[in-house]
Amino acid sequence: MNSTIAQLRTRFEAALGAAFGEDFAATDPILVPASNPKFGDFQSNVAMSLTKKLGKAPRAIAEQIVQQLQVEEICEPPTIAGPGFINLTLKTAYLEEQLRSIAADERLGVAPIKQPQRVIVDFSAPNTAKEMHVGHLRSTIIGDSIARVLEFQGQDVLRLNHIGDWGTQFGMLITYLQTAFPDALITANALALGDLTTFYKQAKQRFDEDEAFRDASRLAVVRLQSGDEDALKAWQLLCEQSRIAYQEIYDLLDIQLVERGESFYNPLLPGVVEDLEKAGLLVEDQGAQCVFLEGFTNKEGEPLPLIVQKSDGGYNYAATDLAAIRYRIQQDHADRIIYVTDAGQANHFAQVWQVARRAGWIPDTVELVHVPFGFVQGEDGKKFKTRSGETVRLRDLLDEAIARARADLEARLKEDNRQESEEFIANVANVIGISAVKYADLSQNRTSNYIFSYDRMLALQGNTAPYMLYAYVRVQGISRKGQIDFKRLDSDAQILLKEETELVLAKHLLQLDEVIEQVGQDLFPNRLCQYLFELSQKYNQFYDRLPILQAAEPIRTSRLVLCDLTARTLKLGLSLLGIQVLERM
Ligand code: ARG
């Protein structure tokens, strides 16, 4: 099925061609949903945009377009307003027919993409031996949602975890491991290492205080890079211990990722240097191999170098990303690569891409996208920290959200005198807690900072996960009360839209594919959140104002189909945000 707006666009293009000649058929009809329902459902501003080109008044242009516009089965006769807006109102019969068709479709009218692309989503990417912080939480939640949307569209998605598992810090960590935990090395038991954050801090302290330790650390890096067995074993143990900690978070959040850390690209780095050399881009500067960047300068206005290989022969974060991009295009055949990191890395990616482009690695058809996001702030507006000023452990943060969701639920049960099993309580608390955290993050425009507030994210009212989950539960309540099996509702049941609230809900339900397409394009999951929030509000108005189970047939069945469609849309939409629904809560 083609979305309504897409169909209207095609009709406009035809009308523009017929009115002003074939050249105009390629004009963007500038068709948008009407800002105010009193103007109808859609509005085209194309007449205003053509005044110069056609040398006519916009109203006259609008009239000419409307004369040619063939939309009878979709819209009421178009009207012209103001300077030359063309307003369109969808016909009720058309809406009824569209709803019937999406109700009968598993995918709710969202057709799979015709030519799937190979898309890499690079997200999460914590750093080995360091605790995953809230920035990684954002990357994980946003990246997962983007991957889910693209997967649902039918894209061929590769979810990559570019873990920071390589670099000079491992010299220090290995040396500390060998001195402080020799037993762990012998038994190769990652768990014997315990909490890696403490481990990291202790290693760092030792490094800062002890010169002999520093020297040993430097040697350890060299040993690791030359493939020394003991050094590798220690490194693997550290990676393994980190992996256990990350996996716990991924399990809790239901995140799938393929690990391809920085170390993976290590053997490919000399090839990168060679390629850049051949492309004539490499310049030696104070012993380091660099590429001088175009459009990036230092304070003195001199061109900035991107260091590919340091004077000691070592490589850095940027070099690894060069190897990664080359590999992803040459071996993975990526058509689109999406990097989900904090906004602070925008320059890093712009520089890496520039070098990769100049080296000729990036075909014109490949799209590189940075998906930046802002900081998570505490309720005081400052950086998100524990009371004692420590970084918040993700595990603790999620546990706290679940515990609070549980306390809220238990209070509600008590108030309503409801008895529920421990299993029910634990599951509901878990789903609400996790989805509240995810939704609070996703519902913000990701480029801005947001304030982390348990109270706000867990509220039953407002643009929150619990509000949305509750709308879904309300529909399931109808099915229980009326003993209705939605799945068996006649898929050919007639849909009748008589009341304003029905029409409003119906029109919103039909916008799902447009929203998904938009998110797949612009990668802003908050648009999907906003859509679902409005859907819940519109459903609640419909539910509050109109009888459903008490209505007479055929209205009753028609309204039940609207209920079911709302629930299915919520369930699908939330699943694309990585949020699971509940039948009861
Ligand atoms: N490990 C990095 C960090 O913690 C993120 C890596 C993002 N991906 C990449 N290809 N550079 O900020």
Do 270 and 364 fall within a single domain? yes
Given the CA of residue 136, which atom of ligand 1 is nearest to it?
A: 4
State the pLDDT confidence band at 194, using cuts at 50, 70 and 90: confident
Spatial distance between the Cα atoms of 158 and 147, rounded to a whole number of angstroms: 8
Mean of per-residue pLDDT scores for the chain:
94
The structural domain count of the chain equals 3
CATH code of residue 362: 3.40.50
The verdict on residue 123 lying in a domain is yes
Let me know if residue 410 belongs to a domain. Answer: no
**Domain boundary, last residue among 71, 90, 109:** 90
What residue's CA is closest to ligand 1, atom 2?
125
Residue 329 lies in a domain: yes
Atom 4, ligand 1: residue with shortest CA distance? 126
**Percent of the chain topping pLDDT 90:** 84
Sign for the pseudo-dihedral over CA of 163, 164, 166, 169? negative
Is 354 in a helix, a strand, or coil?
Answer: helix
In this structure, is residue 290 part of a structural domain? no
155 and 173, same domain (yes or no): no
Query: Does residue 80 register a pLDDT over 70?
Result: yes
Ligand 1, atom 11, residue with closest C-alpha: 321
Report residue 421 as tokens: 């099993």
State both tokens at 77: 């006769």
CA distances from residue 181 to 176, 223, 273 in whole angstroms, order as listed:
8, 19, 37
Indicate whether 270 and 362 sit together in one domain: yes
89-117 pLDDT per residue, tens: 999 999 999 999 999 999 999 999 999 99
CA distance 69 to 170: 67
Please give the DSSP secondary-structure letter assigned to residue 93. Answer: H
Pocket of ligand 1 (CB under 6 A): 122, 125, 127, 162, 164, 321, 324, 339, 341
Express each pLDDT in 264-280 by its tens digit.
999 999 999 999 999 99
Q: Which of 446, 458, 383, 399 is nearest to 142 (CA)?
A: 446
Same domain as 132, residue 253:
no
Q: Which of 90, 110, 140 is the last residue of a domain?
A: 90
Do 270 and 157 share a structural domain?
yes
Residue 565: HSE in the Cβ half-sphere, 13 Å Cα cutoff: 33
Residue 521 CA to residue 511 CA, distance in Å, equals 16
Query: What is the predicted pLDDT for the residue at 2?
Result: 64
State the pTM of this model. 0.94
Say if 558 falls within a structural domain. Answer: no
Residues 86 and 44 in one domain: yes
Q: Supply the residue whose CA is at minimum distance from atom 8 of ligand 1.
A: 162
Of 389, 139, 96, 332, whose CA–CA distance to 250 is shortest?
139
Domain with 198 in it: 168-260
One domain for residues 155 and 196? no
Residues 46 and 71 in one domain: yes
The helix, strand and coil proportions of the chain, stated in percent and rounded to the nearest 5, come to 55, 10, 30
In a domain, 62, yes or no: yes
State pLDDT tens for residues 493-542.
789 999 999 999 999 999 999 999 999 999 999 999 999 999 999 999 99
Q: Do 122 and 271 fall within a single domain?
A: yes
152 and 8 belong to one structural domain: no
Q: Which ligand 1 atom is at minimum distance from the Cα of 164?
A: 1
> Mean of the pLDDT values across residues 63-71?
96
Residue in 158, 135, 134, 136 with CA at minimum distance from that of residue 146: 158
Give the number of the atom of ligand 1 that is nearest the alpha carbon of residue 349.
Answer: 11
Same domain (yes/no): 321, 369: yes
* Domain stops at, among 373, 394, 422: 373
Instruction: Report whether 116 contacts 154 (CB < 8 A).
Output: yes
Same domain, 241 and 255: yes
The verdict on residue 526 lying in a domain is: no
Examine residue 319 and state whether it is found in any structural domain, yes or no: yes
Whether 477 shows a pLDDT value over 70: the answer reads yes
